[in-house]
Amino acid sequence: MTSATPPTGTGALAKREARLAWTLLAPTIISVSLVVILPLLAIIWISFKPFTLSDLRPPAPVVRESLRGSGDDLRIEYRLRNSSQEIAIEGVTLTDVLPEGVIAGEIAAPCVLDGQELFCDFGTLDGGQRERIRVPVTIDGDPDVFEDVVEGSEPRITGSGPSVLTNFEFSLENFARVFDGDEFWGVLGVTLFYTVFGTIGALVMGLFAALLLNKSFKGQGFIRGLYLFPYVAPVIAVAFTWVTLFDPFSGSANALLVQMGLSSDPINFFGERPLALIMVTVFEIWRYFPLSFLFILARMQSIDSSMYEAADMDGASPFQKFWLLSIPQLLGILSVLFLLRFIWTFNKFDDIFLLTGGNAGTRTLTVNVYEQAFAVSNIGAGAAVAVVILMCLIAFSFVFFKFISREEGL
């Protein structure tokens, strides 16, 4: 007679372990939420609002006080304006206390004077509206002395308007602007060219480098470390070096091409279409192939050498050993590297911005985010482009895990 085995994961011990696991994971989940999820939700929120850089501050009344005129025309002026050109501000009031020695004359509505205290009720201030209040005064003393006293006092202002950022009014205006015309599709095409060829090129070059260095020889550690230089070097330094090297006027590459007779005139490598896009793609390949090289080499060294010995006994050629033995063993790491490099390259901004600034046909979606949000000061449109980038990467990841990774057993 056999005893029944209790179901896995339903006992008190399993529940305690589950609570302990969630407790240990809580700091990580909170950190990821604060660093990744909340900013992502904020970008999605802003993308549905016609939000510009000037809307970072909610609309508020702005006042400037000054002492004007002289003699019988001496007056205190309050210049009030709405900081927003479109949004109205409600409940706008102004309160100020006139200094001792200043005697106010007759005051017009909407202001009243109670002793030395001035109070003005403007009600609603429309977008872009300006008001000027003139308070005729006489001064018991030197006006020059009272000028600093009057202008040094700060009137109290009340009034507030709805913030575009925090209200619940949403619009598709930003996405309509993003997809309007052929500009977006041209930028998307440049992004795909840069990403696809940059990713494949880095993988192929990394694979080739791993094949070259997958042997024991004197100084192999130094050579392998040298191969990592493009990846570990500061991007500002290497980008400046490339721009200087291929400069059409003082670059060594152009001087060499002209002296060898390969080119009659200097070539503007980073300033001509489509050469600039090819150059930034080559830079991407050169800078990031060491990462692929490192992972591929580590995987190649873990392959059982007995398979290659058996292939040698069967008379297999080097190409047959590479294609039939090495590639099947490397497909897993190549798939992972392709996924990571595709996502990273699709999001790449600093390399292109440092090399060309997005000019000469090298404007990618990430550069477009910067230009929309900061160059044009349209933060909403920049956020909309960022959301489009997110959707593209989600679609790519879905296709990758649905089809490609299934074939590789990932």
pLDDT at 10: 61
State whether 211 and 335 are in the same domain.
yes
Number of H helices, E strands in the chain: 17, 8
pLDDT at 406: 56
Does residue 46 lie in a domain region? Answer: no
pLDDT at 237: 93
pLDDT at 155: 85
State whether 191 and 264 are in the same domain.
yes
Cβ–Cβ under 8 Å, residues 58 and 72: no
State whether 277 and 359 are in the same domain.
yes
Helix residue ranges, H only, 214-349: 220-227, 229-232, 235-245, 252-259, 275-301, 305-313, 318-321, 327-346
What pTM value is reported for the model? 0.77
pLDDT at 204: 95
Does residue 166 lie in a domain region? Answer: no
The number of distinct structural domains making up the chain is 2
Mean pLDDT per segment of 10 residues, for the chain of length 410 residues?
51 84 87 83 89 78 82 82 85 86 79 86 88 83 64 80 81 86 87 95 94 82 86 92 90 88 87 92 95 92 84 84 87 91 93 92 92 86 92 91 62
State whether 339 and 264 are in the same domain.
yes
Does residue 237 lie in a domain region? Answer: yes
pLDDT at 405: 57
Query: Which token pair is 236?
Result: 């500002």
State whether 207 and 113 are in the same domain.
no
State whether 373 and 315 are in the same domain.
yes
State whether 131 and 189 are in the same domain.
no
Does residue 122 lie in a domain region? Answer: yes
State whether 194 and 286 are in the same domain.
yes
State whether 256 and 155 are in the same domain.
no
Q: Which residues pair with 61 in a beta bridge?
A: 82
Does residue 70 lie in a domain region? Answer: yes
CATH code for position 130: 2.60.40.290
CATH code for position 244: 1.10.3720.10
State whether 211 and 98 are in the same domain.
no
Residues written for the chain: 410
State whether 273 and 371 are in the same domain.
yes
Nearest to 199 by CA among 274, 289, 293: 289
State whether 121 and 257 are in the same domain.
no
Cβ–Cβ under 8 Å, residues 252 and 243: no
Does residue 34 lie in a domain region? Answer: no
pLDDT at 1: 46
| Residue where a domain terminates, one of 160, 194, 226 | 160
Which residues in 232-264 are b (16+ Cβ under 10 Å) and which e? eeeeeebbeebbeebbeeebebbeebeeeeeee
Measured between alpha carbons, how far is 200 from 331 in angstroms, rounded to an integer?
14
Q: Which residues constitute the domain of residue 100? A: 59-160
| Residue where a domain terminates, one of 128, 160, 192 | 160
Does residue 394 lie in a domain region? Answer: no
Does residue 274 lie in a domain region? Answer: yes
Put the strands of the sheet holding 130-139 in their side by side order. Answer: 61-68, 75-82, 130-139, 102-104
Measured between alpha carbons, how far is 130 from 135 in angstroms, rounded to an integer?
17
